[in-house]
Structure 1
Amino acid sequence: MTEDLVAAKQALRAEIRDRRRNMSAHERDADTAAITEHLKHLVAARGVKKLSCYLATPTEPETRPFLTWAYENNIEVLLPVTRDDGLLDWAIANDTPDENIGLFGLPEPTGELLGPIAINGVDLIIVPASAVDKKGVRMGWGRGYFDKTLGSMGKRPPVYAIVFDGEYVDSLPREVHDQPVTGVVTPSALITF
């Protein structure tokens, strides 16, 4: 990993954070509705009964309407809980709006922790991203939690990242540990690579 690559990724993340902070509420609501519909279609098309997703931060594409739909349709959802050792733990999503604030100020579920290997039983993994390129390279936020999780799975189900339209780009800088995704969900499209 070169210093130039690290600097390029940091600059791109900063630009994306800034753009996300400047989105209007109307844009965000319209994008949430479109992403939710794409996610419903993805789950239905793949016959998913159990998946992992995440609780979006205020600037990320919103996942809560999709999580509500999944709960109402008896789809079991595992949500990540960050740990000090760099691994993700998992808890089952429920119909309560209660959330904890985890490491780094991220929203996390309440409920019993299932351990890092609980994700091995899901049919689909939905991950956050700062950007995704047309080859399936996903750039996260630099902490490596999802890359470690995905890289440790022997048999990995399909993995889709959620980003806003302008964050699906031609190419991204890639490091050795960066785990590719199967597809991307944006407000405009559901794309499988």
Structure 2
Amino acid sequence: MEMPVERDKHAWRSEILARREGVTARTHAAESAALARAVRELGIPAWVCAYVPVRGEPGSTAMLDAVREAGARLLLPITGPPGPLEWAEYTGADALHAARWGLLEPDGPVLPPEAITRAELVLIPALAVDRRGVRLGRGAGHYDRTLSAARVDARLVAVVRDDEVVDELPAEPHDFHMGWALTPGDGLQQLGIAGVAE
């Protein structure tokens, strides 16, 4: 169901998180498998940045394994104090450990925020994305700060469920726009012009 754009980000987040809580384990597993298949069709470059889906986020480590099976090196975020994300290389699900906020992060050497500039493809978690490319995250601003600070020149792909690609979301000047959305049912969809909102 499409919500009016006048609703603020908090209302959007509450609604989408409530919907995600209602997704059955069977549906989540089917959507995760579909996302892993869709990732294989992206044309994987040599370096990719992604994330480990947790707390009902679409996808699973199968999506990450699909990137590695294509021969790419894969960097995942390391969370710290508010600021740009640091990175570490994903070598498999058995090398992940529990981190703050219920996240999973890779073991291994931690790379500086600028490591994201190696990537030609960045898969980014989102609660929703609109057709202009405005992404709704959880509100901490980690990705907006990271993308702005590093001046990333890569394909920016928000990973969401099919009904989380919406017509219009509230936008702020610092919001970094996505160029594409990746969903279980519709695969890769091009969005509006990528870059910082004007």
Q: Is the TM value for this pair above 0.5?
A: yes
Calculate the aligned-residue CA RMSD, in Å.
1.8
Report % sequence identity. Answer: 34
In structure 2, the CA distance between the partners of 1:98 and 1:6, relative to structure 1 (3 Å rule), is farther
In structure 2, the CA distance between the partners of 1:154 and 1:58, relative to structure 1 (3 Å rule), is closer
Task: Say how many residue pairs are matched.
Answer: 186
Between stretches 94-103 and 25-34, larger displacement belongs to 94-103
Runs of 4 or more off by more than 6 Å in structure 1?
A: none
State the shift of 1:87 in Å: 2.0
Alignment of 1:54-133 (within 5 A): 54-133=51-130
> Which letter does structure 2 place at the counterpart of 1:69?
A
| Structure 2: gaps of 5 or more residues | 192-198
Q: What TM-score do you get using the length of structure 1 for normalisation?
A: 0.90
**Equivalent residue for 2:33?**
33
CA distance in 2, matches of 1:153, 1:116: 7
**Equivalent residue for 2:138?**
141
> Which letter does structure 1 place at the counterpart of 2:68?
Y
In structure 2, the CA distance between the partners of 1:122 and 1:30, relative to structure 1 (3 Å rule), is same
State the shift of 1:96 in Å: 4.3
State the shift of 1:155 in Å: 4.5
Q: Secondary structure at the match of 1:176?
A: coil
State the shift of 1:152 in Å: 1.8
**Equivalent residue for 1:16?**
16
In structure 2, the CA distance between the partners of 1:87 and 1:154, relative to structure 1 (3 Å rule), is closer
Q: What TM-score do you get using the length of structure 2 for normalisation?
A: 0.88
